[in-house]
Structure 1
Amino acid sequence: MKICKVNVLRFTATIIPIISFFITCGQIQNKSETSTQTKAEIFNSYLSELHDRGQFNGNALIIENGEIAYRGTFGIGNFEPIDSLKLNSVFRLGSVSKQFTAMGIMMLKEEGKLTYEQDIRDFIPELPYNGITVRHLLNHTSGLPDYSRIMNEHWKVELAYDDPEKFISGNEDVIMMLCEYKPTVHFTPGERWEYSNTGYNLLATIISRISGMSFNEYLQEHIFIPAEMTSTLAYKYIPGFDDKMPNRVFGFGTKFNGINRFTTDSHYLNGAYGEGGIYSTLEDLMKWDRILYNDVLVSKQTLEEAFSPGKLNNGNLTDYGFGWFIDKSPNNKKVVKHMGGWAGFLTNIYREIEENNCIITLTNNNTRYFNMDDGLIDILHNKPPKFPRIFIADVIGKKVQNEGIKASILYYKKLKSEQPDNYVFNEYELNFLGYELLEDKKVDEAIGIFKLNMEEYPKSANVYDSYADALLSMGDTVNALINFKKVQDIDSTFFEIKKKINAIEKNTIPNNDDN
C-alpha cells in the first residue's frame, strides 16, 4: 500500500559529493530543464516524484562505473513515533539475505567441509527427503514445498500471527515441523526450477551445524567483518526498539485513505533465517557489491559459478545461480540481482557486473511497486525513466475519504476512460479497497465499491461473493443469499461458498418444530 506524504516533515534526498550542492525533493522537470540536469539530479528527481506519488519510501544508492553516482533517502523509518529515514538506517533485507547464505555455503565448500553434490541428509539426517543435494537447494531445484504453509496450518494455530507467544525460536522449529508433517515434494529434485524459501532455510542450518556456530556468528566472522560491513547482522527479531540495532527501521503500511498507518513489522516467522533474516544498510551493501569484484571471500572461479545459471536434469538452464537471479543489462551484459520482500520491507540489489554498475534500493512501507527500479536502470543508461503505473485503489481510496463514494466512482470511470495506461485497473484492486472500507465500518462506501466491481467484472464469481459479504454485514440475508447463489452458479467450487449458503439457509428456513 502507498505511504502518504507527511506534511510536518519535508523529506529530502542527500546527494553525495559527486556534485557540490544539496537538492530538495521536487517534481520531474520538463524536457528543457532535464537536458541541463546532472545524472545525480535526474536520479533525485525521479525518486522525489515516486515519493510524491506514494510509490517510494526508502533509501537508494547507485554506483556507475565503480563510483557512487547517487545516494538519497525519502520518507520515514517508523510512525510510532514518526522519524525520518537516514542514510545509515538499517533495513530488513528479506530474500536479499539468500546471497549471503549462498556465500557461507561456498566458503564451506572451499574449505572442503561439503560438496555441492552432497545429500543434505548428511547434515540434517532427520529430514524425510531423499536425493536432494546442496546444489539443488542453492539453485532452487529441490522440489521442497514452502515451509510457511505447514507452519500456518499447524504451528500454534490458536494464536495470531503477530502474537509474541507464537514466534518461532529459529530454524530448528521449521525442521521439526517438516519432519513431523512430511509435506510432499512438488517434483523430483532437479526436474524443474521452483523458488524455495525452505531450501535456503535448510542451507543456513547446514552452515550452523557444520561450523558449530550460530548463523549470525558464522556470517559475522567470515563475511561481514572481512567486508567491513559493520551494520549488518542476521538478527534474532525482537518486537519494538532494541539497543542492539539502534538505527533499525520498521515495516509499516498506509491504508488506502492515505491517512491511517498500521504496523507490518511483526510476524511469528521472523525468527527464521537463511532465506531472510539479515538486516543491513546502503553503505554496507555497497561494500558487499565492491568485495564481490575480488577474491577476498572466495575464489573468482567460485564466484563465477555462483553467477552462472543452474542446470536441470534435462540439461536446460534456469535463470538462477547461487543466491542470485541471472539477467542481462540494456547493453546485453551480465546482471546478477535479487529482490526481497517481508514484513513490510521491499529491497533490491541489481548488479551489472560486466559494467561495474549497481543499484540498491531499500524500502519499509509495505509497497506494492515492485518495478520501481526499472526507472533507475533507465536513467543509469541515459534513457528517460519509466514510472510504475499507479494502483487505482491508492487513488480511489483517498477520493472516498475526501469526497465520498459517488464522486469516487465517477472519478474511477473518468481515469479508466481517459488514462487507462497510467493506472492498474483490476477487480482485485476494488476488492481490496472494498474490504478495507468494510473493516473500517464504512459499509455504504464498501457497498458502492463492490457494486462498481460487479459492474466492471460481471463474469467473476469473486465480485458477487464480496458484495454478498458486505450485505451480510448489514444484516441483509435475503440479498446476500441471492448473490452467494450467483457465485455458486459461476463457480461451484468457490472457496467456502456452500458453507456460506448453508449457514444462511439454516437460519432463515422456518423449523417445523416451531409451528
Structure 2
Amino acid sequence: MKLKCIKTSVSIFTLGIFLLISTSVNAQIAIAEKAFEEAEKKGFSGVLLLAIDGKVVFEEATGFRSFEEKTPLLPTDIFEMASVSKQFTAMMVMKCAEKGLLGYEDFADKYLDIPYKGISIRQLLTHTNGLPDYQAVMDRHWDKSQVADNAAILEYLRKYQPPMLAQPGEKYEYSNTAYVFLASIVEKVTGRDFIELSREWIFNPLGMGHTDIRTLEEKAKVPNFAAGHLKDKNGDYINANKFHSSDYTVWLGNRKGPGRVSSTAQDLLIWDQALYAGTLVSKETLDLAFSAQILNDGSLSNYGFGWDLSEDPDFGKIVSHTGDNPGYKTLIMRFVDQNKTLILLNNNAHEAKDALIKGAVEALRGW
C-alpha cells in the first residue's frame, strides 16, 4: 500500500512538472503570437521563425509575395538575403583556409592586383580594413547600361584609386568592398567560379535546396520569389525595382561576395544547425569566426568573420547579422550558448519589424 502511494505521488509530481512546462511554453508562444499580430496589423509583410535545438517552435508568414498581384506570402517563399550573405562568403574563405589555400594574415594584394597594400584577409573579414566604398566609385564612373562584376569593380578601383578611409586595423567600418575582395580571392586560390563553388561547398551538401546566388533573370523565373516592396508617392507598395534608388541592384548585378544570396527561413535554419554540427569547418575555425577583432590600439571590435558579436546576461553569446536591400530587411540571430534561433525576413522594409524582433527575443528568453 505504501509503495502504491509512492507511485501515485511520483505520477502526480510528473504530471505537475509536465503541466508547468506546458504552461510556460504556451506563455512564450503567446508572446511571439502577440508580437507577430501587432506587426501584422501595422502592415508588416514577411516571415518570422523561432527555433530551439533546431526544432521550429514558431513560424508565421503574413503579407504579400507581390503586393501588385496580391499574392499571399508563404513561409516557404524565397527572399533576397542582402548582407546576411556575408556569412556565406566568410565560410568560403574559412574553408579555403582549412584547405591550406590561404592564411588569415595573408595580405589581399598577394592575390589581387589592387592599389591597397598591407590589408590582411582577417581585416577584410572583420571590416577593419579601411577600404573605400566601391559602389561610390562605380556610381560615379560606370556605364550603367552594362552590368558590373568583381573584375570590373577591381578595374575601377585600380583606375580611380579612391583613398583609404583609415589605416588597416585602425577601426571598424563596415565594408562591402572587403567582401568583393574576399570572393575574388576565393576564385583566385581555387581557380573556380565563386557561385559554383558556393553551391558545391555549402548549399548542396547541406540540402539548402532553395538557396542560391541568383541573377535578376534567374530570380524572375522563381515562382515563389518574394519581391522587395517600397511605397510610391501615393503610399502604395510597389516592386522596389521600379525605384531609381534600386538601380544599383541591376548595374552591379553580377558582383559576388557582399550580397546576392537568396534563401528561405527554413534553409537558414538548416545553415544555422550545420554550424553546430561541424560539417563545414572545425570548431576551432568557428571559434575564430565568433571572436572579437583586436584593433591597433588594443581595443576590441565586436565583428567576427561575417557575424556581429554580442553578449546577453540571459542568453550568453549571440552571433547575428542584418541585411538591407531595396524593400528587404533580413535578420538571423543565433543564441549559440542555448541553441536558439531567430530568423526574420521582411519584404516591405516595414518599421514594425523592430518591435517584432524585440517581442521575438523576449519569447525566446523565457523558453
TM-score tier, shorter chain, comes to 0.7 to 0.9
Question: How many angstroms does 1:226 deviate by?
Answer: 1.6
Bigger CA radius of gyration: 1
Structure 1 position 122 matched with structure 2 position 77: no
SS in 2 for 1:365: coil
5 Å matches for 1:251-400?
251-255=228-232, 258=235, 260-265=236-241, 266=246, 267=249, 268-331=251-314, 333-369=316-352, 371-372=354-355, 373-382=357-366
Task: List aligned pairs for 1:50-89, cutoff 5 A.
Answer: 50-54=39-43, 56-89=44-77
Q: Residues of 1 paired with 2:146 and 2:238: CA distance?
A: 20
SS at match of 2:270: helix
- The answer to whether 1:153 aligns with 2:153 is no
2:272 is paired with a residue whose SS is: helix
Distance 1:340 1:369 in 2: 16
| Whole-angstrom CA distance in 1 between matches of 2:128 and 2:26 | 46
Q: Distance in 2 between matches of 1:317 and 1:216?
A: 33
1:142 and 2:129 are equivalent in the alignment = yes
Verify the 8 A CA contact 2:291 2:304 in the aligned structure 1: yes
SS of the aligned residue for 1:290 comes to: helix
1:269 shift after superposition: 2.3
Which structure carries more relative contact order (alpha carbon 8 Å, separation 6+)?
Answer: 2
Q: Is 76-85 or 136-145 further displaced after alignment?
A: 76-85
Structure 1 segment 148-227 matched on structure 2, within 5 A = 148-156=135-143, 165-168=145-148, 170-227=149-206
- How far has the Cα of 1:233 moved from its partner? 0.6
Which whole-Å deviations, capped at 9, do the CAs of 1:106-160 have from their partners, x for residues lacking one? 0000000000010111211x2111101111100101100111111111112xx5x
Partner of 1:98: 86
Indicate the SS of the match to 2:354.
coil
Q: Which runs of 5+ in 2 are unaligned?
A: 1-22
* Aligned partners of 1:237 and 1:271 also within 8 Å: no
Q: Is the 8 A contact 2:98 2:281 kept in 1?
A: yes
- Once the two structures are TM-superposed, the CA of residue 302 in structure 1 deviates from its matched residue by 0.3
- Matched letter for residue 229 of structure 1: M
Aligned to 1:425: none
Deviation at 1:326, TM superposition (A): 0.4
Contact (CA 8 Å) 1:251, 1:364: kept in 2 or not?
A: yes
TM-score, scaled to structure 1: 0.62
Change (3 A) 1:75 1:332: closer
Deviations 1:306-345 (A, max 9, x none): 0111111222111100000001235150000000001211
| Structure (1/2) with the larger strand percentage | 2
Structure 1 unpaired stretches of 5+? 1-33, 160-164, 384-515
3-state SS of paired residue (1:238):
helix
**Displacement, 1:103?**
0.3
**C-alpha distance in structure 1 between counterparts of 2:175 and 2:28, whole Å:** 38
Q: Which amino acid aligns with 1:48?
A: E
- Aligned residue pair count: 337
**Superposed displacement of residue 82, structure 1:** 2.4
**Cα contact 1:329–1:352 (8 A) shared by 2:** no
Q: TM-score, normalised by structure 2?
A: 0.87
Q: CA deviation at 1:60?
A: 1.2
Partner Cα separation in structure 1 for residue 342 and residue 102 of structure 2: 33
RMSD value, Cα? 2.1
* Whole-angstrom CA distance in 2 between matches of 1:369 and 1:183: 38
Structure 1 residue 36, shift from structure 2 partner: 10
Deviation >6 Å, runs of 4+: none
Is the 2:169–2:295 Cα contact (8 Å) retained in structure 1? yes
**d(CA) in 2 for partners of 1:358 and 1:69?**
10
Query: Could you say what secondary structure the match of 2:322 adopts?
Result: strand
Assess if the C-alpha contact under 8 Å between 2:45 and 2:64 holds in 1.
yes
Aligned residues of 1:94 and 1:347 also touching (Cα < 8 A)? yes
Mapped to 2, the partners of 1:288 and 1:342 lie a distance apart of: 21
Aligned partner (choices 243, 250, 254) of residue 227 of structure 2: 250
- TM-fit CA distance, 1:247: 1.9
